Structures are given as C-alpha cells and as structure tokens.
Structure 1
C-alpha cells in the first residue's frame, strides 16, 4: 500500500481488521521489522506499519523537518491520510519512538495506548558509539560508505544472535544512499538537548494514557535503566533478547502486546 503525505510517497503494510495498531520501526530497519508480530495479530487487529520517510520504499522530501515537532507532524499527517475511525494503539521501537512519542505528546487524544520497545526519549540518554560516529560529519559518511554486507550482518549478529539472518540481510538490502542520508540527518538532529521539555510532556501523557515497556535486556546500545524513564511501572524485561525484540521474539512480543490491550477493555 502507499499514500502521498506532503508530496512524499509513503509505503506501508496494512493487514487485518479491528482496532488499529500503528507500528513505527527504528534504524536501520523498515516496516519488515514487524512482519512476525503482524502475522500473529492481524486476525484480531488492523495492523499498520509504514516505512518511515527515507527508509525502505518511502520517499523523503529534501527539506524534511527532523525536529521532534516535524516528526510529530509527519505522523499526524500520515494518520489523517489513513482516515481511521478510532484512536490507535501506538507501538514504537528505536528511532521510531522519536516520531511516535512526539506525535503522542502533540496529539494524545488520537492515542489509546502506547507500547515501547528498546529506545530512549530523554535528555539523559547519551548516544552509543555507532550513533556518535554517525553524528560526526565526514566520519559518519565514511563509516556508511565502508559498510559492506558481510560487515553489517556480522556486527549485528554478534550483538543479537537470535535475530534471524534474513531480517538482517533485508535491512542491509534496504540501505540505499537515500537511507544513508536520512540516517545521518536524523541522528545529527537528535542532540540530547532536543528532548528537554518533550520528555516532561511525555511523562504527562503517560499519566493519562496506558503505557507499557517491553525491553530486551541484552541491548548493547541502550542501557537497561532507560526502560524506567517512560513514566510507567508496567515493564517487561525479556532477559534472553537484545535490541530487536519484535523480530527476535515476535511470539513473546505479540503476547505482551495482546495481554496489555486486553487489560484495557
């Protein structure tokens, strides 16, 4: 499926029927990250998973606004274009949280619940080593230019051995020059200071909207302590998994989501 959002063609997965769930992937992934979960959920829910701007098959405008308000505006425009009849259950991972949680702050009335997989949305987070490289001019461009498939697959399998190789390979195959440019612009826009104010506003959203965190404890990029920064005590730690829980353990991830949503009724 595809939609035109602010002149950009956005590709997305649309499966099932029922209450809508909006899935927002991270870096360097695409909507494919959610395929395993969606296969388990589509008989009960309407599952929507876009390729974010500049990722996968989605286009990105040259002047795309990577500020948190700009990312929130994009999600709002995308959701409006879907013409949904009810608020969505929001599910985010990694940099997908920059888009999704910012939208939840700006448009909380459109969000019925929030499920968060390994990410950070706080001024207190400091970028991991690879993130710091991508945030550095010239060094970031060089690192991506030198990243061949063997290096890419090997580096991820070392830190996430339970992540299926085909998922890693597909992510690499989607890493076009367009995606490289998007990654660098996004990471360089996300100084920890940009979250000042937004993180506090999200805490207020979390007091009014059901929020759960599902956390792969073996994550090498984001410290375990970050799981407790989202204003909820509903945290599930999956001790045997790493950063990509939705693809490493789709059955457990889907079970956590369904149990959470069932408790809302």
Structure 2
C-alpha cells in the first residue's frame, strides 16, 4: 500500500455478582509498555493442528477447539481470524471448552456457493455450528466486528448465550464507524484486499509499522507477529474467490445490522462485561459507556489506558482474568 493511501485512511480513522451501575467503571493502569502475559500461547503449528472443519449448510467452518466442560465461543475481528484468540484460549481451556470459529469470508472457513458473509449470515452460521457441535449454550467472548455479531446473537438467541465479554466493537449508535468508510469504498471497487492486505502480507515490517495494521490497531511493536500476519492474510489472498469474499465482508459492514437492537439488549439478562482499550482510534470510548447503559445486565466497564483495537491479542491475561471473573471460576 502506498504511504499516502494509509495516511488518508488514518486521517479518516482519527476523524461475578451483579455490580451496581453507579460503581461499575474501573480504570486500568495498563499502559503501552505493559507485558502481554506469562503464559505460552499456541504457536501457529499447534493452532493449525487443533483446527478442524465443521460441515454446515453455509460451508465448512474452520474451528479450533481446546479444553473441556461448558463451552465458550470466541468471535474475532476483521480482517483477522480465530488465531486472534490463541493466548486467551491457552489460558481459559482449563475452565471451558473453548470454541473459536473463523467467520464466513475470513480465515480458513470454506464458504458455500451463494452464501453471504454479512453479520446476519454470521449469526446463522454460529447457530448452525453450535447445533453441529451439540452445544446448547455458550459464554461468548467477542471484539471488533465479532462484537456486533455477538450482540445480534444475544438478542435473537438469548437461550444460547450464558454471558458476554465484549472488547472494543461496533454499537448501534456508531455504525459503521467513520474509519471504515475508505475500506468499504475500496472494497466496492474490488480493490481493498489488493491495495491494503496484499502489501501488508508481502512486507511484514510494513504491516507492523505506523503505516500498517500494527500502527493502527496495536500498541506492542511486536504485533502482529509474522505468524499472525500469515494466519490472517494469506487465506484471503489465496484465490480470486477468497479476495472477493473478503471484499464482500467489508462491504457488508456498511448497512447497520444493529439498527433497532437496543430494545432487545435492554431486555436480556445474561451478564455482560465490557473491557475497552481507551486509545482506540476506530471505536470511540463513548461506545463502552453506551453499551454499559444499554445492556440489561451490565457487570461494568474496565478501561485499559493506552490500548488500541486489537488489545485482546496483546493482553490475553486480561481476557482470561475478566472471563474467569464473569464465569465465576478459578
């Protein structure tokens, strides 16, 4: 990607008991220099070995499972894949059967001909996946566009969601975020994957630079790792059809699937915990407050100082800590 392209884009980006809501906000001392955790997350070889494909009407859904017991469902962001959650899964597998699918159009999932990749399609896919796996209900952990899907899942299928841990993500009142407009415009021209993702995959130093996904969405200069860049981007560049599906995923983010969802969120009683990176240039910190006020059973907001959109990949210990508290385990 040309430097001027990224600068234009970056400029658009800048344009477990109930907790009383009055006491719900906590501000974390986490800074850009914070460590990412003491565990040993899956490397890409182990992660691939744990992956299988689950056949559904929507396609063969790439899915990693690790652990035993009640199920937890991990929903990733764009243009990422389930590999985003490798550190959290490593830490939480002693407490849950961790299930991390790749969304339709992303990762290693094989989309059936004629199937869509919009948020509503993702919800239908998740229900089909859970049915195929024999899982009646899950604790959901979600971020970015996966957070929008998680909200739809909670509202439309409340019996399937025991709890919800949300990181920086879309909300009904701020959708699509302004930062996505250049992405959507390029995707409509069929150019997003080639103009943005291909250069990042070809030059991983560029991807981690101020002019890449690293500078826009991460704080730790080691992220995304080479393995992560390969895991996220290589599948999307592997064929003309995969490029078209990735572009379609971006285009499908333009209509607001969360329109009218607020009433349903207020009615739902599953506990919801919100953890927000406060230096995110894409999703406003005000969105965390909105979610806290809106969901029917908020367990409060934890604010992470100095953290950007994809902090869950950099700070798996925070995800694990918050999930254990929400689930009442460990």
Same-fold call, TM cutoff 0.5: yes
Moved more, 14-23 or 62-71: 62-71
The CA distance in 1 between the partners of 2:316 and 2:95, in whole Å, is 16
CA distance in 1, matches of 2:245, 2:84: 18
Question: RMSD value over aligned CA atoms?
Answer: 2.3
CA 1:94–1:243 in structure 2 vs 1: closer, same or farther (change >3 Å)? same
Going from structure 1 to structure 2, the CA distance change for 1:140 and 1:226 (only over 3 Å counts) comes to farther
Q: Give the match for residue 210 of structure 1.
A: 271
- Could you say which residue in structure 1 is the equivalent of 2:183? 134
Contact 1:71 1:98 in 2 (8 A): no
Q: Which has the larger radius of gyration?
A: 2
Report the counterpart of residue 19 of structure 1 in structure 2.
Answer: 70
Matches within 5 A, 1:221-260: 221-230=282-291, 231=295, 232=298, 234-260=300-326
Indicate whether 1:199 and 2:262 are aligned.
yes
Residues 110-138 of structure 1 show CA distances to partners (whole Å, capped at 9, x for unaligned) of 11001111101213334233x11222266
Equivalent residues of 1:134, 1:187 under 8 A apart = yes
Q: Secondary structure at the match of 2:171?
A: coil
Q: Closer, same or farther in 2 for the Cα pair 1:72/1:49, shift >3 Å?
A: same
Unaligned runs of 5+ in 1: none
The whole-number CA distance in structure 1 between the counterparts of 2:249 and 2:187 is: 15
Q: Which runs of 5+ in 2 are unaligned?
A: 1-51
Which fold has the larger relative contact order, with Cα–Cα distance below 8 Å and residues 6 or more apart in sequence? 2
Residues 174 and 216 (structure 1), Cα distance of their counterparts in 2 relative to 1, 3 Å cut: farther
Q: What is the CA–CA distance in structure 2 between the aligned matches of 1:143 and 1:164, rounded to whole Å?
A: 19
TM-score, length-scaled by structure 1: 0.88
Cα distance in 1 between the residues matched to 2:147 and 2:109: 18
Output the CA distance in 2 between the equivalents of 1:91 and 1:62.
29
User: What is the distance in 1 between the residues matched to 2:120 and 2:104?
Assistant: 15
Following the alignment from structure 1 to structure 2, what is the Cα–Cα distance between the partners of residues 138 and 111? Answer: 33
Q: 167, 170, 173: which one pairs with 1:120?
A: 170
Kindly state the Cα deviation for residue 72 of structure 1 after the two structures are TM-superposed.
Answer: 2.1
1:97 matches 2:147: yes
Change (3 A) 1:143 1:153: farther
Shift, 1:185, TM fit: 2.0
**Which piece of structure 1 moves more, 164-173 or 221-230?**
164-173
- With 116-125 and 6-15 compared, the bigger mean Cα shift is at 116-125
The structural deviation recorded for 1:57 is 1.0
TM-score (norm. length: structure 2): 0.72
Moved more, 208-217 or 91-100: 91-100
8 Å Cα contact 1:123-1:199 kept in structure 2? no
Q: Which runs of 4+ in 1 moved over 4 A?
A: 137-140
Q: How does 1:30-49 map to 2 (within 5 A)?
A: 30-49=81-100
State the alpha-carbon separation in 2 of the partners of residues 184 and 146 from structure 1: 11
Q: CA–CA distance in 2 between the matches of 1:138 and 1:81?
A: 32
